[in-house]
């Protein structure tokens, strides 16, 4: 798309971009071309197929070129579009928030199974990011209340946008702070029914193998120390006093470290209720219950 022309139709533009992205080793070249063009044209993606022969106006073509350039630089498409789908809903995201992944939907689904048939539960989503977990739980379990905590003030600003967009301000309360320090003034010791978290779990020595897109995301939301397990240790140790006697934790985990993560919780006085796999057959969610003595 080097020269100015009035002959760039939707069909020719998508074809050119798909080939360009494929040569640039961009994943899903045709899909991403369509997503970016629908964004530039302010059209639903499916409408593109109905207007393939329409010529793209110069101002829209200029906007689209800037989007292509950003994606070519390996900026995540979710950041370019400013949103990501999760649990059938759209969530605002930016460079201050982790991009929600499909695997994390398993964490929400497992938590909803824990909630099923119960009302008035008090939950805490630790490290909420854009708020996708907290909002999804609030929308699907109308009777629960959720604390959504994060160490990043900028991330919580995005969380607020998503809470407002999905109409669950009465159920989700945001708190700024490092893990459970965010709840220190909330008088919720021994009062939480469920603690949920998708903590940072990438080991530092895995960084060279990560895709450039992943490295655009906030480091504090990605890396869990030398072995990737630092936050599991802290959650197990610091979170236990906040749980009710019959309270549980549900956490996403590194698929290759379920044994080590389970060992951390066993060592801190928890029992493992279940470990569930994702659609790829990999260990993805661990649910544990605190053993209280006396």
Residue 6 confidence (pLDDT) above 70? no
pLDDT digits (tens, 9 = 90+) for 64-93: 999 999 999 999 999 999 999 999 999 999
Contacts of 231 by beta carbon, 8 Å cutoff, 6+ apart:
127, 179, 197, 199, 200, 201, 224, 225
pLDDT given at position 293: 60
Q: How far apart are CA 111 and CA 276, in angstroms?
A: 12
Cα distances (angstroms) measured from residue 290 to each of 109, 179, 208, 219: 21, 18, 36, 30
Both tokens assigned to 79: 């950041």
Residue 100: pLDDT band (50, 70, 90) is: very high
Could you tell me what percent of the chain has a pLDDT over 90?
92
Q: What is the pLDDT of residues 23-77, one digit of tens each?
A: 999 989 999 999 999 999 999 999 999 999 999 999 999 999 999 999 999 999 9
CA dist 92 and 165 (Å) reads: 9
Q: How many whole angstroms separate alpha carbon 74 and alpha carbon 54?
A: 29
Can you tell me the distance from the alpha carbon of 128 to that of 136, in angstroms, rounded to the nearest whole number? 11
Q: What share of the chain is helix, strand, coil (3-state, %, to 5)?
A: 45, 20, 35
Pair 232, 195: CB distance under 8 Å: no
Strand boundaries in the chain, DSSP class E: 83-86, 89-92, 122-126, 145-150, 172-176, 192-197, 243-252, 270-277, 283-290
Q: What residues does 215 pair with on adjacent strands?
A: none
What does the mean pLDDT of the chain come to? 95
């Amino acid at each position: 798309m080097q020269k100015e022309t009035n002959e760039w139709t939707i069909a020719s533009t998508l074809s050119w971009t798909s080939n360009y992205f494929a040569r640039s080793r961009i994943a899903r070249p045709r899909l991403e071309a369509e997503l970016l063009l629908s964004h530039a044209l302010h059209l639903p993606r499916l409408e593109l197929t109905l207007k393939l022969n329409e010529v793209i106006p110069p101002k829209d073509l200029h906007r689209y070129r800037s989007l292509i350039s950003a994606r070519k630089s390996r900026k995540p498409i979710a950041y370019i579009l400013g949103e990501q789908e999760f649990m059938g809903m759209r969530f605002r995201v930016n460079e201050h928030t982790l991009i929600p992944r499909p695997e994390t939907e398993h964490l929400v689904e497992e938590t909803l199974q824990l909630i099923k048939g119960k009302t008035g539960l008090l939950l805490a989503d630790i490290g909420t990011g854009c708020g996708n977990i907290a909002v999804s739980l609030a929308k699907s379990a109308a009777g629960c209340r959720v604390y959504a905590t994060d160490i990043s003030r900028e991330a919580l600003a995005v969380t607020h946008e998503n809470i407002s967009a999905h109409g669950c301000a009465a159920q989700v309360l945001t708190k700024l702070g490092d893990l459970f320090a965010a709840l220190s003034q909330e008088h919720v010791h021994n009062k939480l029914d469920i603690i949920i978290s998708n903590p940072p779990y990438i080991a530092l020595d895995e960084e060279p193998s990560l895709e450039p897109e992943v490295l655009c995301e906030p480091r504090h939301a990605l890396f869990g120390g030398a072995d990737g397990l630092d936050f599991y240790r802290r959650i197990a140790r610091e979170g236990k006093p906040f749980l009710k006697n019959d309270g549980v934790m549900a956490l996403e985990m590194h698929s290759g470290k379920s044994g080590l993560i389970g060992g951390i919780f066993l060592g801190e006085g928890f029992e493992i209720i279940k470990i569930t796999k994702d659609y790829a057959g990999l260990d993805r969610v661990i649910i544990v219950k605190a053993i209280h003595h006396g």
